Chains A and B, each alone.
Chain A
Amino acid sequence: METGVDIAARGLPRPSPHMTWTDEELVAKSIRGDADSFNELILRWERPIYALAYRTIGREEDARDVCQETFLRAFRALPGFRGQAKFSSWLYRIALNLCRDWIRRERRTPVVPTPEDVDLLELAAASEPSESIEELVARKDLSRTVERAMALLPEEQRTAIVLKEYHGLTFQEIADLVGCPLSTVKTRLYQGLTVLRRELAKNPSTKSTML
């Protein structure tokens, strides 16, 4: 049972060893004009926010823009932040709103660009030392397959899966974040996972894990 678990406690953000302040303390210091404190918050949360944006909209550059815009908006709105929600939830909400705006602006289902030709040199540069080229290509293939399948999901199902699967939010936290009943979150997750199962089963690289 995972209720009321602090997101920061799940090891998602990596706090700097030099800064042991909590998010709330850093927020308070930032409001008083300490820019270093806000930079520390950025360091803690930029990776999760970027990952959220990337998995929601599926484009590297745009995800980066969304991430940057999220922190800019948060910084501007910081004086109005009263601590009624956790800083992380507040940040997630800003990021999700920006992702939603992006999707509306693009007026289409986000599509992950898939390069037709694979540059082996580029791949090799991105590989881990212990990973062979074959393993690397397989990993890239799998990522691409998952990205394509995720891009087929309606936005609300995709968001629910991303928040639950990759950010470990509780059902209640997701419901609060996206503003819908708890049962709706579960239904969206069920429907999204079911569609993903069907889509992933079509692809040879992911078929083996689907039953």
Chain B
Amino acid sequence: MTDMLCGYLDRDETIVAFLYDDLDPARRRDFEGHLLTCAVCREEVAGLRGVRTTLARWEPPAVASLQSPVAAQSPQPWWRTIPAWAQVAAALLFLGVAAGIANLDVRYDQRGLSVRTGWSLDRSSGSGRSGESGGSRGTEVAQSSSPAKDAPWRADLAALERQLKTDFHASQVSAHSSQAVAQSIRATSASDAEILRRVRALVEESEKRQQRELALRVAEVLRDVTRQRQADLIKIDRNIDLMQNKLGVEVLQQRQSLNYFMRVNQRQ
């Protein structure tokens, strides 16, 4: 780039129009004539053509076709448009209706948990109830709820109650027995050393783990600080470039003003 000046009328706009072939024939002939005699403009036009050549080689990265904002190209299945809650409700309704139709029967008895449908043939209970007509499900449920042997959960409950009573009694007995307490203390003191050793080991391990975590955190902080510092340096660098750019524009404007004054002087 040259710092020499040229006083051609509307020089900058004319150069741009010339570069983009936007001058009318008369103006174009005039400017071409000027270029023959003005080295400054000739050099600038050639330089700016070089910029255009370089710019022409800048391609944006390839991008796949954008998904259409208007959903018409690939319509979703109709059931995708139904809200999730409605789908869940429909599923539950379907299960309920299916269970009703199938006459579903869930039982927990001595044979364990069993699930049956009205379509299943109950041969074992059918023989016990030979007098009953057809073994209807309603009758079966009514009969099975009355005898204790058909309700095993009651036996389970009773066993649990007995177990709890025994435990409670045992604890009361041991509380009142000083001998038992002394024995217990002796047994405990014998294992104190072992427990203490274990606790110390645990504490040491915990301290080591905390130290490791602390070291990791410090390393992370250091890395973040370094990264931030680099980012700041880049930012500063760019700002300096930007300032230089603005300075360049100002110099350009100054030069345009000078050109204008020169033209005015030439006319006078």
Closest chain B residue to A184, Cβ basis: B13
Closest chain B residue to A208, Cβ basis: B50
Determine if B159 is an interface residue (Cβ-Cβ < 8 Å). Answer: no
Distance in angstroms between the alpha carbons of A142 and B50 in the assembled complex: 13
Q: Output the least CB separation between B252 and chain A (Å).
A: 6
Q: Output the least CB separation between B69 and chain A (Å).
A: 5
Q: Mark A34-76, 1 if CB is under 8 A from B, else 0.
A: 0110110011001100110011000010011001100110010
Q: Mark A140-176, 1 if CB is under 8 A from B, else 0.
A: 0011001100011110000001001110001100000
Closest chain A residue to B71, Cβ basis: A35
| Those of A119-157 within 8 Å (CB) of chain B | 126, 139, 142-143, 146-147, 151-154
Determine if B205 is an interface residue (Cβ-Cβ < 8 Å). Answer: no
Pick from B56-64, B76-84, B138-146, B179-187 the stretch touching chain A: B56-64
Pick from B108-116, B120-128, B196-204, B241-249 the stretch touching chain A: B241-249
* Residues of A contacting B: mostly: helix
Determine if B72 is an interface residue (Cβ-Cβ < 8 Å). Answer: yes
B13 touches A210 (CB 8 A): no
A146 touches B69 (CB 8 A): no
Number of interface residues of A (CB under 8 A): 59
Determine if A96 is an interface residue (Cβ-Cβ < 8 Å). Answer: no
A187 touches B70 (CB 8 A): no
B242 touches A42 (CB 8 A): no
Residues of B contacting A97 in the complex (Cβ-Cβ under 8 angstroms):
none
A2 touches B47 (CB 8 A): no
Q: Output the least CB separation between A73 and chain B (Å).
A: 9
Determine if B92 is an interface residue (Cβ-Cβ < 8 Å). Answer: no
Contact of A111 among B62, B238, B245 (CB under 8 A): B238
Determine if A186 is an interface residue (Cβ-Cβ < 8 Å). Answer: yes
> Would A142 and B58 be within 8 Å (CB), given that A2-B21, A194-B248 are in contact?
yes
Q: Mark B44-66, 1 if CB is under 8 A from A, else 0.
A: 00111011111111111111011
Q: A64-B66, A75-B70, A193-B48 are in contact. List 10 more A-B contacts (CB 8 A).
A: A1-B23, A2-B22, A39-B73, A143-B58, A152-B241, A171-B20, A186-B12, A186-B13, A187-B13, A195-B249
Taking Cβ atoms with an 8 Å cutoff, the residues of B that contact A are: 1, 12-13, 15-17, 19-24, 43, 46-48, 50-63, 65-73, 238, 241-242, 245, 248-249, 252
